[in-house]
């Protein structure tokens, strides 16, 4: 059986299940309780589980992320919601210098099993300060596990296994996905936090994406199919550690790759994926690898400029067509 729902509701169900299954789990963040969460993910959970488990925090990301790290060190399993990814910069010291390094610095004596969730991405005319895609920054850091659920099943299925990790996990939820509607598997899908997922099989070109870029990439694959181009779409979904085996298996079949990333081109995760492809499968490529990223500007407010800056489906399909036009 399956149930029709939204990405937002899938996340809420994941929280509910985790809170029911483990008394050590609690949720902390700005407006997660009485207001029900900035994106309504935690709506109704305060009434169901009480203030001890759904904790409204002061407007201090460094403060409440630090408190969650302390709780994790003390044996709890905290979930922290940070309103948007740009606000996580205020807690970067706690995440990168403490949570990510504690097990290493303590010689394995201490673990920080905290899950930090945050909204990411552009496309809603929120301009430069609330449209960041900083996933590559976090994916750069050893000691963190970095996830980007782009489907309803992953939104529901990633939280519980993340809470079982002994090291900190950062989960990026693209803000444009919250209203995504679809079918949720019943029983809940089991999500492997080590593996990417093939979302569409194909033979002509590999399209690699994650998070909010996945729906656009799937749309591009449909556009390409109308021209007789069979694109395979890989959803990275686990940004650290990267599952290059799945990507390389696809590239060895299609011999062409386009990496899609809403982050800026310089230092993008797309660039890292393509570098690893060149290191491991350079002679199996029939065309130079390509990437489609956001323009290297602070995200504009005006809708037409925002769309011009983002890696939307027409740009992705154009990049794929350009690769197919090249002769091996």
The two domains 2-185 and 197-325 share their CATH topology (first three levels equal): yes
Q: State the Cα–Cα distance between residues 101 and 177, nearest whole angstrom.
A: 31
Q: How many CA atoms, within 13 angstroms, populate the side-chain half-sphere of residue 22? A: 17
pLDDT tens per residue across span 249-269: 999 999 999 999 999 999 999
Q: State the Cα–Cα distance between residues 177 and 181, nearest whole angstrom.
A: 9
Quick one: which of 52, 45, 37, 139 has its CA closest to 84? 37
Q: How many CA atoms, within 13 angstroms, populate the side-chain half-sphere of residue 230? A: 8
pLDDT tens per residue across span 229-253: 999 999 999 999 999 999 999 999 9
CATH code of domain 197-325: 3.40.50.920
Q: State the Cα–Cα distance between residues 302 and 299, nearest whole angstrom.
A: 9
**Residue 131 above 90 pLDDT?**
yes
Query: In the sheet that 169-174 helps form, which strands lie side by side, from edge to edge?
Result: 54-56, 25-29, 77-84, 115-120, 169-174, 145-147, 238-240
pLDDT tens per residue across span 4-62: 899 999 999 999 999 999 999 999 999 999 999 999 999 999 999 999 999 999 999 99
**Residue 2 above 70 pLDDT?**
no
User: What value does the mean pLDDT take over residues 93-99?
Assistant: 97
Q: Enumerate the domain spans of the chain.
A: 2-185, 197-325
Per-chain mean pLDDT for the chain: 96
130 catalytically annotated:
yes
Q: What is the per-residue pLDDT for 189? A: 83
Place of tokens 């606000």: 87
| pLDDT-based confidence at residue 190 (cuts at 50, 70, 90) | confident
Please tell me which residue in 13, 15, 30, 61 is annotated as part of the active site: 61
Please tell me which residue in 13, 15, 81, 130 is annotated as part of the active site: 130
Token couple for 149: 């659920």
Q: Distance of CA 128 to CAs 124, 132, 222, Å?
A: 11, 7, 31
Quick one: which of 118, 129, 128, 131 has its CA closest to 65? 118
Q: What is the per-residue pLDDT for 328? A: 63
104 catalytically annotated:
no
pLDDT tens per residue across span 67-92: 999 999 999 999 999 999 999 999 99
Q: What is the per-residue pLDDT for 200? A: 98
Can you point out the beta strands (E) in the chain?
Answer: 2-6, 25-29, 54-56, 77-84, 115-120, 145-147, 169-174, 181-185, 197-200, 205-209, 231-235, 238-240, 257-264, 290-294
Architecture of the domain spanning 2-185 = 3-Layer(aba) Sandwich (3.40)
Backbone phi, then psi, for 113, in 5-degree steps? -80, 65
Q: What is the per-residue pLDDT for 326? A: 77
Helices 213-225, 313-325: crossing angle, 10 deg rounding:
50
**Residue 3 above 80 pLDDT?**
no
């Amino acid at each position: 059986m399956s149930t029709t729902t939204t990405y937002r509701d899938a996340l809420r169900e994941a929280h509910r299940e985790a809170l029911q299954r483990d008394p050590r789990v609690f949720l902390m963040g700005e407006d997660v309780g009485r207001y029900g969460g900035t994106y309504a993910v935690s709506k109704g959970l305060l009434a169901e589980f009480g203030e001890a488990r759904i904790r409204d925090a002061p407007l201090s990301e460094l403060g409440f992320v630090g408190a969650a790290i302390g709780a994790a060190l003390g044996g709890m399993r905290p979930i922290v919601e940070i309103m948007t990814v740009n606000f996580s910069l205020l807690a970067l010291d706690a995440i990168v210098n403490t949570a990510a390094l504690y097990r290493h610095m303590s010689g394995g004596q201490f673990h920080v099993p905290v899950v930090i969730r945050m909204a990411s991405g552009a496309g809603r005319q929120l301009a430069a300060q609330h449209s960041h895609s900083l996933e590559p920054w976090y994916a750069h850091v050893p000691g963190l596990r970095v996830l980007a659920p782009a489907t309803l099943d992953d939104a529901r299925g990633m939280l519980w296994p993340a809470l079982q990790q002994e090291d900190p996990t950062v989960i990026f939820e693209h803000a444009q996905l919250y209203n995504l509607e679809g079918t949720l598997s019943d029983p809940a899908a089991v999500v492997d936090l080590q593996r990417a997922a093939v979302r569409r099989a194909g033979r002509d070109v590999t399209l690699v994406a994650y998070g909010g870029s996945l729906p656009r990439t799937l749309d591009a694959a449909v556009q390409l199919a109308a021209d007789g181009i069979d694109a395979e779409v890989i959803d990275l979904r686990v940004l650290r550690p990267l599952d290059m085996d799945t990507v390389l298996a696809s590239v060895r079949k299609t011999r062409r790759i386009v990496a899609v990333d809403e982050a800026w081109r310089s230092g993008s995760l797309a660039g890292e994926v393509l570098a690893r492809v060149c290191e491991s499968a350079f002679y199996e490529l029939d065309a130079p690898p390509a990437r489609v990223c956001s323009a290297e500007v602070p995200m504009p407010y005006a809708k037409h400029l925002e769309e011009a800056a983002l890696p939307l489906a027409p740009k992705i399909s154009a990049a794929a067509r350009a690769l197919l036009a090249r002769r091996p």
